[in-house]
Amino acid sequence: MLNQSTHEQGTSWLKSILIAVVIVFILRTFIFSPFIVDGASMEPTLHDRERIFVSKTSSWIGEIKRGDIIIIKGTENNYVKRVIALPGDVLEMKSDLLFINNKKVKEPYLKENKIIADKKGMLLTGDFGPLTIPAKQYFVMGDNRLESGDSRNLLGYIDEKNIIGKSKLVFFPIKNVRITN
């Protein structure tokens, strides 16, 4: 005969709920977290008020690569930007062309913004460099270069300890669900 007392059933439910809470805490603290995009600095890749899932494993596995979209811990706000240059890279911008270690780098994520800038007779990114990125530091920019506060003008080099994680997925609004890159 299967007959549990009410006390045993309550204890069983409490254990299940406690285990679920611990699992969620571990996942959100160490594996992934949701974030809200605030502003237009990453247009058209990410849009204002979109919600994204961020993988936090990069902070302890060290998998940050050029082109990754990362979340940066600021003093008052978090920022979402694209990694342009890695520690030790030599970075230079000339006539809207990106050069890393004296090699031209394609930036396909800028295509729409370049079309808009060309129509206005403007450059997306002013010339600068060459800059050598210090050890354990990253150089980041927003995809909407005309509207972005980033390593060029606001944030400076990004210390690896201030990188929260990498954007992986837009999950809201539902019609915009997509993998980020």
Q: Which residues are catalytic?
A: 41, 81
Buried b (16+ CB within 10 A) or exposed e, 44-76: ebbeeebebbbbbebbeeeebeeebbbbbeeee
Q: Within 13 A of 134's CA, how many CA atoms are on the CB side?
A: 7
Residues 80/69, Cβ–Cβ less than 8 Å: yes
Q: Give 6-74 as a DSSP string.
A: HHHHHHHHHHHHHHHHHHHHHIIIIIEEEEE--SSTTTTTS-TT-EEEEE-THHHH----TT-EEEEE-
Total count of residues recorded for the chain: 181
C-beta of residue 99 within 8 angstroms of C-beta of residue 93: yes
